[in-house]
Amino acid sequence: MFLKYVANECNESETPEEDKKKVELGKKVTLLRGISIIVGIIIGAGIFISPKGILKNSGSVGMSLVVWIACGVLSLFGALSYAELGTCIKKSGGHYTYMLEAFGPQMAFVRLWIELIAIRPAAMAVISLAFGQYILEPLFMPCDIPPLAVKLATAIGLTSVLYLNSMSVTWTARIQIFLTCSKLLALAVIIVPGMYQLFKGETKNFENAFDVSAIKLSEIPLAFYSGMYAYSGWFYLNFVTEEVENVERTVPLAIFISMAIVTTCYVLTNVAYYTVMSAEELLDSQAVAVTFAEKMLGKFSIAVPVFVALSCYGSMNGGVFALSRMFYVASREGHLPRVLSMVHIRRHTPLAAVLTLYPLTMLQLFVGDIYNLLNFMSFLRWLFIGLVVLGLIYLRFTKPDLPRPFKVPLFFPVVFCITCFLMVFLSLYADPVNTGIGCGICLTSIPAYFMFIYFENRPKWLQQILDSLNRTLQIILMVVPPEK
């Protein structure tokens, strides 16, 4: 009550017009902003610098394009399944919320724990490091960039993203639209010259495109694994469902439009690459987009690293915006400290939830090999996404009367589930050591659940420390529980 009184006094003296507004997260995600969130997160650095993984494992140019299309279709199946979940369970939080509704608090906490301590800080650190590397490249060409300079640029970029998400939901969404347009412009810089070359008759690299002599069936699943990773990010709009205008219409439409845009751009970009580079040249390139630009654009190729940096920044911005809502909802459910479910009194942003990622990600930036961490945690991502979509099938039978404004054919979630579990099995078979380590980290969620959630009768001194810390953070961050 004291904090709320202080908050009201601050509003009355500084911004009286805001005093009448409810302290809550508003519905500011429109259709355009929803599309920008999905497209802006999916299109990261991967399509610019490393499409060769699919070519290497698919065995031919033609099969690589088939894999890109097939992965787009499979991702659409998963995305539309999430669209059904988002319109019938109108809560933010994404994976966590759907696991909670379908399988209960224990499974939801396991998903939250793994996301919080390993997957998300590592993934955010990787995309942030890519930003730092490419934003500095034009300044240091042709010399190598000092590692410390990369990390400092990375830290500055990450800090700016978190500051932006802390200050304003509206401006976060507006900048995400700008960054998404920048990504599409960057792809257009590749696609347009490539299509021009194709229409001129540069088709020699497509001869014998479906040569089966180099195809190994055992490696095709690895190509799909790389492809599905490139498309990952279609689920992020479901993390902010409570802030979406007209959920029943906006979520399915934004997901469908976004997946159509991304799939089309990915396929056309790869076709453009092959009009200029042979399969051998593409496999030898360390940064495919840069090699393409050097061949086609001359001096203008220096702009490509800047476009890649903007692309990475967009993924960082959209990721922080979406994931902070998962922590916000988990706190509201009692699975994280209560202060994370509070909203800034004037900014109306979940400030504490946004800042949660900061220390964990900064730690990952400066210690450890985050790329190996991502390798052995990737299978957990697809395991839990598969379980979420399995939860959709489960809810169809256990809660048939649940309102479903948008309903997908059962074929979609079934095919997507099978795909996810096949990728998980492949990970266990191909790399048992790293996946075993990932499983070990996953198992740490069990004692954490019993220690922090299950046992309510904590020692009085510990509870007093936690309450005092919560009140202190509430005062420092100027956050209060959202009004009902």
Across 9-131, the runs of DSSP E, i.e. the strands, are: none
User: What's the CATH fold of domain 31-463+471-480?
Assistant: Amino acid/polyamine transporter I (1.20.1740)
CA distances from 247 to 31, 93, 169, 228, 242 (A): 10, 14, 18, 26, 8
Nearest to 332 by CA among 343, 321, 320: 343
Local structure of 211: helix, strand or coil: coil
Q: What are phi and psi of 167, to 5 degrees?
A: -85, -40
> What CA–CA distance (Å, rounded) separates 312 from 315?
5
Contact 255, 241 (CB under 8 A): no
Over the stretch 407-419, which tens digit does the pLDDT of each residue have? Answer: 999 999 999 999 8
pLDDT averaged over the chain? 81
Over the stretch 18-47, which tens digit does the pLDDT of each residue have? Answer: 444 555 556 778 888 889 888 888 887 768
Q: What percent of the chain has pLDDT over 90?
A: 16
Answer whether the bond into residue 142 is a cis peptide, omega within 30°. yes
Local structure of 480: helix, strand or coil: strand
pLDDT value at 451 more than 50: yes
Over the stretch 263-296, which tens digit does the pLDDT of each residue have? Answer: 999 999 999 999 988 888 888 876 787 788 888 8
**If pLDDT is split at 50, 70 and 90, which confidence band does 156 have?**
very high
Over the stretch 84-110, which tens digit does the pLDDT of each residue have? Answer: 999 998 888 888 899 999 998 888 888
Place of tokens 């649940």: 402
> What CA–CA distance (Å, rounded) separates 97 from 355?
21
For 138, left (φ over 0), alpha (ψ -120 to 50), or beta? Answer: alpha
pLDDT value at 350 more than 60: yes
Question: How confident is the model at residue 372, as a pLDDT?
Answer: 59
Q: What are phi and psi of 480, to 5 degrees?
A: -140, 160
Structure token pair of residue 399: 């809660």
> What CA–CA distance (Å, rounded) separates 207 from 209?
5
Contact 265, 188 (CB under 8 A): no
| Residues counted in the chain | 484
Question: How confident is the model at residue 1, as a pLDDT?
Answer: 40
Nearest to 448 by CA among 122, 96, 106: 106
**If pLDDT is split at 50, 70 and 90, which confidence band does 11 have?**
very low
Question: How confident is the model at residue 98, as a pLDDT?
Answer: 92
Question: How confident is the model at residue 264, as a pLDDT?
Answer: 93
| DSSP H or E run through 479 | strand 479-480
Strand partners, 480: 343
Nearest to 270 by CA among 180, 195, 216: 195
What residues have CB less than 8 Å from 175, skipping those under 6 apart? 164, 317
What is the average per-residue pLDDT within 472-482? Answer: 75
What is the average per-residue pLDDT within 233-248? Answer: 86
Over the stretch 292-335, which tens digit does the pLDDT of each residue have? Answer: 888 887 777 788 888 888 888 888 888 888 888 888 888 888 88
Domain ranges, ordered by start, for the chain: 31-463+471-480
Sequence letter at residue 285: S
The most confident of the ranges 17-26, 148-157, 253-262, 440-449 is 253-262
What do you get for the CA distance between the two ends of the chain, in Å?
15
| DSSP H or E run through 343 | strand 343-344
Q: Is 374 exposed, middle or buried (0-12, 13-18, 19+ CB in 10 A)?
A: middle
* DSSP class per residue in 150-192: HHHHHHHHHHHHHHHHHH-HHHHHHHHHHHHHHHHHHHHHHHH
Question: How confident is the model at residue 69, as a pLDDT?
Answer: 93
Local structure of 324: helix, strand or coil: helix
pLDDT value at 248 more than 50: yes
pLDDT value at 10 more than 50: no
Over the stretch 175-214, which tens digit does the pLDDT of each residue have? Answer: 888 888 888 888 888 899 889 888 888 888 888 778 777 6
